[in-house]
Structure 1
Amino acid sequence: MPSSAEQLHLERALHLLQQAGAMLPEAEPGSVAWLQGIVDALCDLSSRDALTGLSNRRSFEMVMAREVDRVARTGESALLLMLDIDHFKSVNDTYGHGVGDLVIQAVGAALNQAVRPMDTVARIGGEEFGIMLPNCQAGFALTVAERVRERVARLRIPTGQFQDELSVTISLGGAFAPQWVRSSPLLWMERADRQLYRAKTDGRNRVCLEVHHETLVSAEEKGMLLAVLPQDSEQV
């Protein structure tokens, strides 16, 4: 009788994990522990950005959804930072996409080193990144964001061309999740993106944060907050 592993046709999954450099389970091949290890490795691989190893956009949106719900229930603060690399197109145009990839990897590593283990850093796409900072009080937000910005500004990235080193800067926009209010990851990201746009139009290489106590509840969030379920409307 064929084993479970043979019935599942795992060759493609194993090949994918090997290509990604993932550690394969040490358990006996075909055993339940081995199969569980394969499933866990695939789940981890599907949540990671291939170039940087950071969380990908899909995984980050799930983190945001959990955090929006937590802030709505507990009233605790959470800061979302959206950022991108300034003038990144000129890096690709001048040095080529290979060096551009090195820059993205170096920036991703610097971001990860600049935050707490409990924070989540993700590559959203292209040269854009996101950082989720739960339990980040408003009084510390600018300090944290500036630390991230300065960490990237100190990078010196070898280009492999005549021993050149490349430095880059980032622009950051941040917004807090509205407390005690039902919101959504999309609305929260839009708030942070507006601040990122302001940072870039104000000259780049800077931080712009939405003032915490001035966070406004949007029309969409008011609708979510005041939404009446059909069965409730019949009882009114």
Structure 2
Amino acid sequence: MQLDLALQLLQQAGALLPEAEPYSEAWVQGVIDALCDLSSKDALTGLVNRRSFEMALSREVDRVARSGESALLLAVDIDHFKAVNDTYGHAAGDLVIKAVAGALNQVVRPMDTVARVGGEEFGIVLPKCAPSFGAMVAERLRERVSELRVEVASGQILAVTISLGGAFAPQWVRSSSLLWMERADRQLYRAKAEGRNRACLESQIESLVSAEEKGMLFAVTQQDSE
């Protein structure tokens, strides 16, 4: 019964079933792999979903704390997306989201993580990313999306732009994915306030340890001394 439900779920999601002999060991493993993939991916875009993105974010925060290497988080939002849905319908909105997802995925490195975190919002984690490279890649992402021309069902051609906010994870410091996301979101709000279709990145100086992170560091130090 559980297998039947799993097959039904995969069919509804449009996932391809393994080509092996049905109910063979290879076929069952293929079904399991397809379910794992389905649970970690956004159904509309094929990008990593929010749950998997938050896990990747937490892993990167820990890695930066241990290694001291630089890492950048980009928060991305499609500009004036509500107007697209209101004017052309949600099907047109889905086409825009898919087009933006594809454009973002074309620019980043294989080691980077691009996710759809909700609605018209995306998140990108760039490990081992120096500040100079971060500003360059953010601008490249913005430019790539601005080149898009998305044809919707009505035959209308839509131009698309995005706003981006970026923050660097504090190096050699125990932080949290929530604090990192808050920093990137603040820069995203700044990009929107300054007119949209732009990237605003937190400077490395602003990425110094926050009061919350000092508290986390002090708590860890106390535990180690006990």
- TM-score, normalized by the shorter chain, greater than 0.5: yes
Which of 161, 169, 181 lines up with 1:169 in the alignment? 161
- The match for 2:24 is 31
Consecutive unaligned residues in structure 1, runs of 5 or more: 1-7
Aligned ranges 1:45-64 → 2 under 5 Å: 45-64=38-57
| Secondary structure of residue in 2 paired with 1:227 | helix
Kindly name which structure, 1 or 2, has the bigger radius of gyration based on alpha carbons: 1
Letter in 1 for 2:66: R
Looking at structure 1, the residues matched to 74 and 129 of structure 2 have their Cα atoms a distance apart, in angstroms, of 11
1:98-117 per-residue CA deviation (whole Å, 9 max, x = no partner) reads: 10111111111111111111
Looking at structure 1, the residues matched to 222 and 184 of structure 2 have their Cα atoms a distance apart, in angstroms, of 34
Which of 144, 149, 154 lines up with 2:137 in the alignment? 144
Q: After TM superposition, give the deviation of residue 225 of structure 1 in Å.
A: 1.1
1:134-185 per-residue CA deviation (whole Å, 9 max, x = no partner) reads: 1111111111000000000000000222x32100110000001110011111
Verify: 1:193 aligned to 2:185, yes or no.
yes
| Secondary structure of residue in 1 paired with 2:148 | coil
| Secondary structure of residue in 1 paired with 2:93 | helix
Aligned ranges 1:110-121 → 2 under 5 Å: 110-121=103-114
Structure 1 pair 32/140, CA: closer, same or farther in 2 (3 Å)? same
- The match for 2:75 is 82
Q: After TM superposition, give the deviation of residue 80 of structure 1 in Å.
A: 0.4
Structure 1 pair 69/24, CA: closer, same or farther in 2 (3 Å)? same
Q: After TM superposition, give the deviation of residue 25 of structure 1 in Å.
A: 2.4
Verify: 1:97 aligned to 2:90, yes or no.
yes
Structure 1 pair 135/231, CA: closer, same or farther in 2 (3 Å)? closer
- The match for 2:205 is 213
Looking at structure 1, the residues matched to 146 and 167 of structure 2 have their Cα atoms a distance apart, in angstroms, of 22
1:80-125 per-residue CA deviation (whole Å, 9 max, x = no partner) reads: 0001011111111111111011111111111111111111111110
Q: After TM superposition, give the deviation of residue 232 of structure 1 in Å.
A: 5.2
Verify: 1:153 aligned to 2:143, yes or no.
no
Looking at structure 1, the residues matched to 122 and 2 of structure 2 have their Cα atoms a distance apart, in angstroms, of 36
1:13-54 per-residue CA deviation (whole Å, 9 max, x = no partner) reads: 012112222232233333333322222211110111111111
Structure 1 pair 206/228, CA: closer, same or farther in 2 (3 Å)? closer
Identity in percent: 74
Output the aligned Cα RMSD.
Answer: 1.6
Looking at structure 1, the residues matched to 222 and 135 of structure 2 have their Cα atoms a distance apart, in angstroms, of 44
The TM-score with structure 2 as length reference comes to 0.94
Looking at structure 2, the residues matched to 208 and 231 of structure 1 have their Cα atoms a distance apart, in angstroms, of 38
Looking at structure 2, the residues matched to 214 and 53 of structure 1 have their Cα atoms a distance apart, in angstroms, of 34
- The match for 2:122 is 129
Q: After TM superposition, give the deviation of residue 231 of structure 1 in Å.
A: 6.7
